[in-house]
């Protein structure tokens, strides 16, 4: 059954390449990019920067802000790209509620591959030491609607191309 995708969430653990893939998809699609990390309150950034993992309670205000932004996009008739770890089904369900027709592109990586990438990145608030907590919280989006599961080790271009093709196949009317 055809179901339109009104927005795409690029999801995955830290180091999966969400931002890079989203920027490449933005260029391909012309859609507006919403960088989920920009919506974290300062206290969350400080907590993660100090090596402390976020709890569901910590993430609640961040997720509400993302939900509000998606809802605003819906009202404005936008079809955006959002980067968000979206680690748990309940988080994804909140985003789905904010904007019906949200598709999730999951950049699946092994813990070793994610750690290798995080070790190479500089200037990000999320330290490598928190990666285990991300995998502990991760509920993979298996058998969820409008979900594309991708091998996160593919190149940024390959991932953006696959997501763009999938989105076009589910383009809103």
> What pTM was estimated for this model as a whole?
0.93
At 2, is the pLDDT very low, low, confident or very high (cuts 50, 70, 90)?
Answer: low
Which domains occur in the chain, in start order? Answer: 7-169 (3.40.50.300)
The secondary structure of residue 70, as a DSSP letter, is H
Residue 138, helix vs strand vs coil: coil
What confidence score (pLDDT) does residue 10 get?
Answer: 99
pLDDT confidence of residue 121: 65
89, two tokens: 């089904």
Residue 111 has pLDDT above 70, yes or no: yes
167's tokens? 């989105």
State the pairing for strand pair 33-35/81-83: parallel
pLDDT range class, residue 171, cuts 50, 70, 90 = confident
Name the residue with tokens 């390959």: 158
In this prediction, residue 31 carries a pLDDT of 96
Average pLDDT, the chain: 92
What average pLDDT score do residues 147-156 get? 97
Give 3-state DSSP helix, strand, coil % of the chain, rounded to 5.
Answer: 50, 15, 35
Is the Cβ–Cβ distance between 20 and 83 less than 8 Å? no
pLDDT of residue 124: 56
Residue pair 10/106 in contact (Cβ under 8 Å)? The answer is: no
**Gap between the terminal Cα atoms of the chain:** 15
Q: What are the pLDDT digits (tens) for 63-90?
A: 999 999 999 999 999 999 999 999 999 9
pLDDT of residue 38: 94
Do the beta carbons of residue 102 and residue 146 sit within 8 Å?
yes
Token code pair at residue 139 = 């509920």
Rounded to whole angstroms, how far apart are CA atoms 27 and 11?
18
Tokens of 117: 């990438």
């Amino acid at each position: 059954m055809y179901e339109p995708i009104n927005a795409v969430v690029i999801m995955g653990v830290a180091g999966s390449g969400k931002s890079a893939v989203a920027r490449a998809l933005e260029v391909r699609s012309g859609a507006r990019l919403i960088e989920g990390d920009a919506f974290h309150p300062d206290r969350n950034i400080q907590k993660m920067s100090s090596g402390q993992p976020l709890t569901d309670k910590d993430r609640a205000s961040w997720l509400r802000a993302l939900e509000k932004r998606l809802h605003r996009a819906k009202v404005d008739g936008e079809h955006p790209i959002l980067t968000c770890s979206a680690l748990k089904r309940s988080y994804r369900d909140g985003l789905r509620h904010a904007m019906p027709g949200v598709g999730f592109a999951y950049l699946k990586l092994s813990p070793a591959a994610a750690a290798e990438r995080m070790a190479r990145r500089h200037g990000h608030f999320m330290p490598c030491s928190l990666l285990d907590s991300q995998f502990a919280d991760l509920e993979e989006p298996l058998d969820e609607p409008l979900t594309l599961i991708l091998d996160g080790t593919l190149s940024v271009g390959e991932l953006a191309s696959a997501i763009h093709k999938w989105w076009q196949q589910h383009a809103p009317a």
